[in-house]
Amino acid sequence: MEYSSQSVPCQSNNMHQMNSLRRLLVCSGVLLLTACTSLPSVPDQNGQSWSRDKQFFRAALKQHEQNVDWQYNAKVGVRTPKANESANLIWQRADEEHKVRLFGPLGAGTVIIEFDSHGVVISDSKGEVHRGRSAERLLNRIVGWPIPLEALTYWLFALPNPSEVYQYQLNDDGRVSALRQQGWEIHYSAYQQYENGNWLPRKVVARKQVREGDVVVRLVSKSWQ
């Protein structure tokens, strides 16, 4: 009986130690998982480091949401496995509506693209009107340019689309030099300070690998308003 009365607290101590060990292992696992998911950067196959810190763009994206009235004039060139074309571009935004005019040495002639969150309308040089839900898909079908116009509303400002996963790199001045998003790799250079005081890239080069080859979009801005 004396032996039995002493074994109970011994078993209790063992159970307490096992429970403590389990809690320690669980906590260690949680900390390890948290550390892994909060890594600020990740190297690619070439050893280049790409950051994925979601806090970096928070203030700029908030400001961008309030910037609903602007005009962007540029020279655009698009190279696909099937064509190599260029055109002049005037992009106007007013509130939630975007109007993009492509003209000049363009195979399809002058094209006007109007889109918002509800859909897109494209008017071609023949006076025909085409409607759809996706500006990228409709532009690709009508002109043969697989350009993600919705994402470009952010990319032109060296910002990522906040609704999609992204990675980025910075230059020596702390400005965005590259973005990776939606299968595209976008590079920025020749930053200039425009009338509103913002520093924006004058040159934007976006590249995407498709099954037939590469798609390359080059934009050189003429003016921002």
Q: What is the pLDDT of residues 173-205, one digit of tens each?
A: 999 999 999 999 999 999 999 876 789 999 999
User: For residue 198, is it within any domain?
Assistant: yes
Residue-wise pLDDT for 61-103, tens only, equals: 999 999 889 999 999 999 999 889 999 999 999 998 999 999 9
Residue 54: its pLDDT value, please?
85
Q: Quick one: what percent of the chain has pLDDT higher than 70?
A: 77
Alpha-carbon radius of gyration of the chain: 26
Supply the DSSP string of 64-117, one letter for each residue: HHH--EEEEEEEEEEE-SS-EEEEEEEEEEETTEEEEEEESS-TT--EEEEEET
Residue 43 domain flag: no
- pTM value > 0.75: yes
Burial of residue 3 (CB within 10 Å: 0-12, 13-18, 19+) is exposed
- Reported as a single tens digit per residue, the pLDDT across 127-140 is 899 999 999 999 99
What's the confidence (pLDDT) of residue 41? 67
Is residue 41 in some structural domain? Answer: no
1 domain-assigned: no
d(CA 220, CA 192): 12
Q: How far apart are the first and last CA of the chain?
A: 93
**Tally of structural domains, the chain:** 1
Range of the domain at 166: 53-224
Residue type at position 151: A
Contact between residue 176 and residue 168 where contact means Cβ atoms under 8 Å apart: yes
Task: Assess if residue 65 is contained within a domain.
Answer: yes
Whether residue 15 is contained in a domain is answered as: no
The pLDDT, as a whole number, for residue 46 is 63
In a domain, 220, yes or no: yes
Tokens of 208: 């995407």
CATH number of the domain to which 146 belongs: 2.50.20.10
Q: Are 92 and 69 in contact (CB under 8 A)?
A: no
